[in-house]
Chain A
Amino acid sequence: MPSARMSTLARLQGAIDRLEHGLAEPLRRQPLGHAAVDAALQGGLALGALHEVFGEGSAAGAATGFVAGLARQASEQRFLLWVRVDFAARESGDLAMAGFAELGLDPRRIVVVRAPDADSALRSAADALACTGLGAVVTELWGESRAFDAVASRKLSLAAQQSGVTALMLRIAATPQTSTAETRWMVRAAHSPPVEGWGAPMLETSLIRNRRGPTGRWIMEWNCDACRFREPQTHPRPLVAAVADRSYRTAVAAPRRLAG
């Protein structure tokens, strides 16, 4: 199986990396709850590292939900600092604490920093990453940003590595670019299962960069009670509804590959 070979290759690559960089202790990892994802991530989300989440402008809600889920799992009972630029609130709406509470986060442990621009947001995030009282720092930028370049991402990575605080970048309406991130995700909304009424958040997540493992694409569901991701519970219909009039061999998921 190609994916198994990929995974072996990645594990070896990771071993070489560790030997080369003298990284004595492996990264602490937090299992996300979705078996396939955890396998690809070698056990779970690496704590004390930088992770990037991208979403199109129309997927702002889904991307926010995914980051909130990651942040909840990375920070456990500790504080969460959410730095967002003012423009993000104008474009995709302000953070609503009632919604966060329903996802299982405790709004009493969330501190929101409203930064006027990307520069000050990144600077605040870098400072916050040195604070060991925090569990995770989310930096939310909107649109393409010249401020978040290789230097800035390196700075965040190092700060996260030193303190063990997890750094999450939420990039809405931005194109993924090379950075020092441990993982990079592309998120969009997925259909709710057809049988249920209004269900838990369903997310279609593509892991498009993984420093120590294979990439992949999964449907993840956020379980508000256990505060973990999980596989979609009931999934009787295919990802894309069958279109009546098409040839048998048409690639059903082709238009969806844009993100990958």
Chain B
Amino acid sequence: MPTDRIERLSPPRDGSPAEPRVVVAKRDNALVLVACDARAAQGGLTPGMPLATARAMHPSLDVIEHDAVADAALLSAIADWCDRFTPLVALDGDDGLCLDITGCAHLFGDEQGLLTALLQGLQRQGFAARAAIAGTAVAARALSRGAPRTIVPPGGEAEAVAPLPVAALGVDPGIVRGLRRAGLVTIGDVLARQPSELAARFGADFVAVLRQASGAEDAPISPRRPAPDYVVDKRFAEPVATLEVIMPTLLALARLLIAAMEKSGKGARQLLASFFRSDGAVRTIMVEAGQPVTRTEMVERLFAEKLDALADPLDPGFGFDLIRLAASHTVVVDAAQRGFDSTAHQAEDVAALADTLSARLGARRVLRYLPQDSHLPERAALAVPVQHCPPQTCHETPWPARADEPPLRPLRLLQPPEPVEVLAEVPDGPPAQFTWRRVTHRVARAEGPERIAMEWWRRPEPGLTRDYFRIEDEVGARFWLYRDGLYGREVLPSADGHGQPRWYVHGLFA
């Protein structure tokens, strides 16, 4: 695969016969071939061979350094592309993909049709790929290495893998070497032995792999993404590129999706629209909703907002040949009649508005505040996205009831608190004058201190005790100042050893 990536980046110029190309990486202090292209393979080079040996065989080699990150990104892009065949795609090693096509083959005629479509698609994109279909992932992997394009009928795995060399199993090279030394060359030879003998020599894992290869047991693959609850898609014979076609298509899909969800009484909280470009690139756009989506208009509004707000717009390139809409997170919706309670209507309207604004600005920017059980002003309120905590759930903790006294907490909180220069009576008098942002305020009235101790049970070290003062300056502006620490007892160490508590302004009152 690495050579394919390079080939795609710099296609060979016509006429000039290219040199065999190999990709090398440093393994155990030696440069070793990681991959070689078709010409190099014809010349007898194989991955794992030291570069020095390869050079001896072919003096004119095109050597390229291995880039594992780029290869992983490419494999992930191919996996995205493979999403069109099945939602369950798993990465298999550094250079393989494993697709669970249970219940998907009939969409392509039959298994042969799917295999052909897959291989042709990859070939068109410039990849050399081998594939096989079998009842278990291990058998399919072994066959794709040893006997590509095989389709194993149900139950025929043991027979199909028997003639393959042991290395096709993809197990540890040490085991392969051990088996070969014991005279067991093909998988069939190994299968003929007693499992207990093999387990004693090579471990139980190897026996498990062997049983999977022979179809005796199966292990599930771990897909890259969870399968969505509902999926609808539309294929185009000719790629489409204009928004005039894309939006109506999305709407038609939304209608199908919502009809399907309605049958089981579900609504979507998260929708994924995937746009498969004809050159293999896939763009997926996600929208979330605080209240379950059960109407087509909501889908239209959310996607219109999202597409409008995208930092990098949807690039159709040469057009999309497949558009898919999936409901990746659904919840049961009570088909409730709208009541006469006007507050419930208000809450619903506000939730719908919050969904629209979140689609445009992001969920982290549309917030509600929940009270927290903490004396620290900065921890007293927790901002949560409205979508995760819609206003319908108003049975939440109420805010502490207001005491029958004037406001003791500021309206605006500076985050972080800003240091101020203060003239104050030592050790714990209120400030007489302070300078904040280069403006000097003379204190006309001060109330305090209100002592707030830090939460010592938190880690890391929580900081110093604060003495808060409510301050009114000579023009009537009101501030919330605090002294960070106590004279003589709690001070931050300073260079001269006589640390002074510092003062901060933390908030503004009305």
Report A's interface with B, CB cutoff 8 A. 58-62, 64-66, 68, 77-79, 81, 89, 92-104, 106-116, 120, 124, 127-128, 131-134, 188-192, 197-204, 222, 224-225
Contacts and interface: CB of A to CB of B under 8 A. Distances in A.
A124 B470 CA distance: 35
A100 B343 CA distance: 21
A77 B346 CA distance: 10
Contacts of A110: 368-369
A127 B399 contact: no
B415 A99 contact: no
A111 B368 contact: yes
B398 interface: yes
A92 B415 CA distance: 10
A131 B402 contact: no
Contacts of B447: 197-198
A259 B396 CA distance: 43
A109 B399 CA distance: 11
23 contacts: A59-B477, A60-B508, A61-B478, A61-B508, A62-B477, A79-B346, A92-B412, A95-B413, A98-B381, A98-B399, A101-B402, A107-B381, A108-B398, A112-B367, A114-B361, A114-B366, A128-B353, A131-B350, A189-B475, A201-B407, A201-B478, A203-B510, A224-B406
Interface of B: 343, 345-350, 352-354, 356-357, 360-361, 364-369, 371, 377, 380-381, 383, 386, 391, 394, 396, 398-400, 402, 404, 406-415, 439, 444-445, 447, 470, 472, 475-479, 507-510
Interface residues of B, dominant DSSP: mixed
A116 B361 contact: yes
A82 to B, nearest CB: 10
Contacts, number: 198
A89 B507 CA distance: 11
B406 A198 contact: yes
A213 to B, nearest CB: 25
A97 B508 contact: no
Nearest to B411: A99
Contacts of A134: 346, 349-350, 353
B402 A124 contact: no
Nearest to A124: B357
B389 to A, nearest CB: 10
Top 4 A-B pairs ranked by shortest CB distance? A65-B510, A133-B349, A61-B508, A93-B412
A113 B357 contact: yes
B399 A202 contact: no
Contact of A64 (B398, B406, B412, B444): B412
A140 B508 CA distance: 16
Contact of A58 (B353, B406, B439): B439
Contact of B391 (A79, A89, A114, A198): A79
Contacts of B357: 113, 124, 127-128
A89 B415 contact: yes
B407 A103 contact: yes
Given A111-B350, A111-B368, A201-B478, 19 more contacts: A61-B410, A65-B509, A89-B415, A94-B415, A96-B381, A97-B399, A99-B407, A103-B510, A108-B394, A108-B396, A111-B386, A120-B361, A128-B353, A128-B357, A133-B346, A192-B445, A192-B476, A197-B447, A201-B407
B361 A113 contact: yes
Which of B402, B406, B411 neighbours the largest number of chain A CB atoms within 10 Å of its CB?
A: B411
Nearest to A134: B350
Contacts of A101: 399-400, 402
A91 B350 CA distance: 29
Contacts of A197: 447
Contacts of B410: 61, 93, 96, 99
A112 B368 contact: yes
Contacts of B407: 99, 102-103, 200-201, 224
B361 A115 contact: yes
A217 to B, nearest CB: 15
A191 B472 CA distance: 8
A14 B337 CA distance: 44
A191 B346 contact: no
B350 to A, nearest CB: 5
A95 B411 contact: yes
B411 A114 contact: no
A134 B411 CA distance: 22
Contacts of A79: 346-347, 350, 391
Contacts of A62: 476-477, 510
A128 B346 CA distance: 13
A41 B481 CA distance: 37
B409 A98 contact: yes
A131 B357 CA distance: 12
B406 A199 contact: yes
A123 B369 CA distance: 23
A59 B475 CA distance: 10
Which of A58, A96, A112, A134 neighbours the largest number of chain B CB atoms within 10 Å of its CB?
A: A96
Nearest to A86: B365
B506 to A, nearest CB: 9
B172 to A, nearest CB: 53
B415 A107 contact: no
Contacts of B507: 93, 96, 99
B453 to A, nearest CB: 18
A118 to B, nearest CB: 13
B414 A93 contact: yes
A133 B353 contact: yes
B458 to A, nearest CB: 20
A2 B349 CA distance: 47
B348 A133 contact: yes
Contacts of B346: 78-79, 132-134
A127 B356 contact: yes
B475 A188 contact: yes
B345 A133 contact: yes
A225 to B, nearest CB: 7
A114 B381 contact: no
A112 B347 CA distance: 15
A96 B412 contact: yes
B409 A189 contact: no
A102 B350 CA distance: 24
B413 A93 contact: yes
B348 A112 contact: no
B350 A99 contact: no
Which of A77, A201, A203 neighbours the largest number of chain B CB atoms within 10 Å of its CB?
A: A201
A102 B409 contact: yes
Contacts of B444: 191
A209 B367 CA distance: 33
B114 to A, nearest CB: 46
Contacts of A201: 407, 478, 509-510
